[in-house]
C-alpha cells in the first residue's frame, strides 16, 4: 500500500497557487466555482435508495472495502437500482434529494463498472475510454452521463458542498471509504458529516505529527473547492479533526500531501 508523501515544497506550492493553470493540469481536475444551483428547492419529490442500501450492506465491509467477487457473481439488485436511476425525474427532486441521488449514482455506477471487469488490481486497469469519461450511464432528466460529468459538472459546481469528496468512491484504497448505507435526502447533511469526520480521523487520509499534517491528495486535486468553502484546504480539514484544529490555533502548520493509492479497495 502506497503511503509516501511528496516533498513539502511541492505540496505547499500547489496548495498556495490553487488557480495556476499548470498546477491544474499536473495535479488534477480543473478548478471550478462552487455554488448552490438548487438552494431554493427545499421541497420536491424523493427517490427510493433502498435497493442500493441493501447492496452496500451485503458487499461492503465496515472499513469500506468491497467483496467484489460476491458482487460480480450477482448484480441483479444493483442492476435494478441502476435501471431505476434511469427512470428518475431529476428535475422534480428537492435540492437534498438531488445531492443524495448524484452521490449514490456515482457509487452505484462505479460498483457496476468494477463488477463488469472483475477481477482487476486497479480501476486504472480499465481502458481510459471505458472508465471515467465514458457517457454510458443514464439518470432520468439528465440523460447519458459519465462519472466525470457527475462529479465535475453536476456535483462540484452546483453544490457548495466539498464534503462530497469524502462520499463519492472511486474503488481505490486512496479514496475515502465507501459506506455501508445509501445517502438519502432526509439524512444527507448528517451522513456527509459522518463520512467526512470518519475520513479525517483515519491516518490513511489525515496524519498529524507535531506541526506537520499529511493530507489526502484530494486536498491537492480539489484545493479550490476547499479554499472557497473554508479559506484554505488545511482550514477545511481542521473542521473535522480536533487535534488539527488545536494545532492550527497555536500557529502555522506544515502541510504534506500523501500519494494516492490506486489499488483496488477489495476486501480480502
Cβ neighbours, 10 Å, residue 44: 16
Give the whole-angstrom CA distance, residue 234 versus residue 11: 12
Instruction: Flag whether pLDDT at 8 surpasses 90.
Output: no
Residue 151 domain-assigned (yes or no): yes
**Residue 266 placed within a domain:** no
Q: Which three cell numbers stand for residue 252?
A: 502555522
Average of per-residue pLDDT across 211-228: 97
Domain hosting 144: range is 8-257
Q: Which sign, positive or negative, has the C-alpha torsion 116, 55, 148, 137? A: positive
pLDDT of residue 27: 56
User: In the chain, pLDDT over 90 holds for what percent of residues?
Assistant: 88
Task: State mean pLDDT over 51-80.
Answer: 98
In 185-266, the DSSP E strands lie at 206-209, 212-215, 254-257
The answer to whether residue 159 sits within a structural domain is: yes
Residue 259 predicted with pLDDT over 60? yes
> Would you say the C-alpha torsion 74, 79, 81, 82 has a positive or negative sign?
positive
In a domain, 268, yes or no: no
Mean pLDDT for 220-241 is: 97
In this predicted structure, the answer to whether residue 13 has a pLDDT above a threshold of 90 is no
- Position 29 scores a pLDDT of 87
The predicted structure's pLDDT at residue 4: 33
User: 70 pLDDT band (50/70/90 cuts)?
Assistant: very high
**Per the domain annotation, does 267 fall within a domain?**
no
> What does the pLDDT look like over 113-164, one tens digit per residue?
999 999 999 999 999 999 999 999 999 999 999 999 999 999 999 999 999 9
Rounded Cα gap, residues 37 and 87, in angstroms: 22
Asked, for residue 244, whether it belongs to a domain, the answer is yes
* Structure confidence at residue 19 (pLDDT): 37
The whole-number average pLDDT for the span 68-88 is 98
* pLDDT for position 1: 31
Contact, 154 vs 91, CB < 8 A?
A: no
Contact by Cβ (8 Å): 87, 81: no
Grid cell 442492476 — which residue? 79
Nearest to 99 by CA among 219, 186, 198, 172: 186
Is residue 1 a part of any domain in this protein?
no
Q: How confident is the model at residue 33 (pLDDT cuts 50, 70, 90)?
A: very high
pLDDT band at 268 (very low <50, low <70, confident <90, very high): confident
Q: In this structure, are residues 267 and 67 in contact, taking their beta carbons and an 8 Å threshold?
A: yes
Whole-angstrom distance, CA of residue 229 vs CA of residue 223: 10
Task: Provide the domain count of the chain.
Answer: 1
CA dihedral of residues 257, 197, 181, 116 (deg, nearest 10): 0
Q: For all residues of the chain together, what is the average pLDDT?
A: 91
Pick the closest to residue 174 from 49, 260, 51 (CA basis).
260
Q: Name, in order, each residue with C-beta under 8 angstroms of 13's C-beta and a sequence gap of 6 or more.
A: 23
Q: Looking at the domain assignment, is residue 124 inside a domain? A: yes
Distances (CA, A) of 82 to 68, 252, 256: 17, 47, 39
| pLDDT over 90 at 21, yes or no | no
Neighbours of 39 (CB within 10 A): 11
Q: Is pLDDT at 12 greater than 70 in this prediction? A: no
Amino acid at each position: 500500500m502506497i503511503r509516501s508523501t511528496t516533498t513539502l515544497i511541492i505540496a505547499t506550492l500547489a496548495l498556495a497557487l490553487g488557480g495556476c493553470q499548470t498546477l491544474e493540469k499536473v495535479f488534477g481536475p480543473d478548478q471550478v466555482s462552487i455554488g448552490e444551483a438548487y438552494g431554493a428547492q427545499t421541497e420536491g419529490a424523493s427517490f427510493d435508495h433502498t435497493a442500493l442500501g441493501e447492496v452496500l450492506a451485503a458487499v461492503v465491509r465496515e472499513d469500506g472495502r468491497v467483496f467484489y467477487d460476491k458482487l460480480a457473481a450477482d448484480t441483479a439488485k444493483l442492476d435494478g437500482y441502476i435501471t431505476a436511476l434511469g427512470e428518475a425525474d431529476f428535475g422534480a427532486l428537492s435540492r437534498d434529494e438531488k445531492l443524495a441521488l448524484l452521490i449514490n449514482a456515482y457509487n452505484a455506477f462505479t460498483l457496476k463498472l468494477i463488477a463488469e471487469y472483475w477481477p482487476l488490481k486497479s480501476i486504472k486497469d480499465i481502458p481510459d475510454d471505458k472508465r471515467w469519461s465514458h457517457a454510458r450511464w443514464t439518470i432520468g432528466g439528465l440523460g447519458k452521463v459519465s462519472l466525470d460529468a457527475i462529479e465535475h459538472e453536476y456535483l462540484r459546481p452546483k453544490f457548495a458542498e466539498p464534503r462530497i469528496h469524502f462520499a463519492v468512491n472511486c474503488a481505490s484504497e486512496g479514496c475515502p471509504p465507501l459506506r455501508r448505507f445509501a445517502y438519502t435526502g432526509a439524512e444527507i447533511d448528517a451522513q456527509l458529516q459522518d463520512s467526512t469526520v470518519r475520513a479525517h480521523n483515519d491516518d490513511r487520509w489525515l496524519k498529524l505529527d507535531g506541526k506537520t499534517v499529511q493530507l489526502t491528495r484530494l486536498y491537492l486535486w480539489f484545493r479550490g473547492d476547499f479554499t472557497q468553502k473554508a479559506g484554505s484546504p488545511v482550514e477545511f480539514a481542521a473542521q473535522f479533526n480536533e487535534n488539527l484544529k488545536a494545532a492550527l490555533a497555536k500557529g502555522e502548520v506544515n502541510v504534506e500531501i500523501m500519494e494516492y493509492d490506486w489499488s483496488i479497495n477489495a476486501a480480502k
